[in-house]
A = this chain, B = another copy of it.
């Protein structure tokens, strides 16, 4: 008996739509802003920001608002509180712009999601800020293709196990599609599910921290959305009992 794939999960950020590019741009502007106060050759601005963000995840969780608060904290620390209120306000405005950026779907995504949705039930499982993720789903034009939309605060094996239990599905019949080995692939493989990795050209350092056996029979890697339907079919045929 084989466990054919019955449910396919899609990640949101950098799988369905562009996201990290905007964060990268905001962090570049953050560095320029600090250039008036610190020597950028010495200050390691991006490293210090990442250290602050990582430390603050336990308090803020993921998302734009937490990044903005970590930027303010980093700016105050790096400038010895000499930075002006106008610059700190500009950081808040950068966050508002990020939160209101139009949703830009990645090439081939609408067609790939529609094709997979004809053969399987599809759900969206996305991590981060509930309010921002729901806004992006609404503006993506894809909401109607998804049977369920789950915004979760962390993508780890217990979270996937809970979500699959709510769907009443064993992990063996589930495949997850996403750009992050850490969040989309490793925890699902660990539960006995399958994964399709679709790398994005830029990835937040945090999301690259994962261990995945590259030769797993339950893992496919694709170079773009047009290869997704075939990858899901191959997994559905190959997944052992």
Contact = CB atoms under 8 A, between A and B. Distances in A.
Contacts of A92: 69, 72-73
Q: Interface extent on A, as a size class?
A: 35 or more
A84 interface: yes
B81 A83 contact: no
Contacts of A89: 72-73, 76, 81
A201 to B, nearest CB: 28
Given A59-B99, A60-B65, A60-B99, A76 B85 contact: yes
Contacts of A68: 69
A85 B75 contact: yes
A3 interface: no
A86 B76 contact: yes
A140 to B, nearest CB: 16
A99 B59 CA distance: 7
Contacts of A84: 81, 85
Interface string A67-99: 011001101100101111110110010011001
In the assembly, how many copies of this chain are there?
Answer: 2
A66 B130 CA distance: 13
A121 interface: no
Contacts of A61: 129-132
B79 A95 contact: no
A220 B65 CA distance: 38
A-B CB proximity, top 7 nearest: A61-B131, A65-B65, A130-B130, A76-B89, A81-B85, A81-B86, A131-B153
Given A61-B131, A81-B86, A88-B88, 16 more contacts: A56-B96, A59-B96, A61-B132, A65-B66, A72-B72, A72-B88, A72-B92, A81-B85, A81-B89, A82-B85, A85-B85, A85-B88, A129-B129, A130-B130, A131-B153, A134-B153
13 contacts: A56-B96, A61-B132, A72-B72, A75-B85, A76-B85, A76-B88, A76-B89, A79-B85, A81-B84, A88-B88, A129-B129, A130-B152, A130-B153
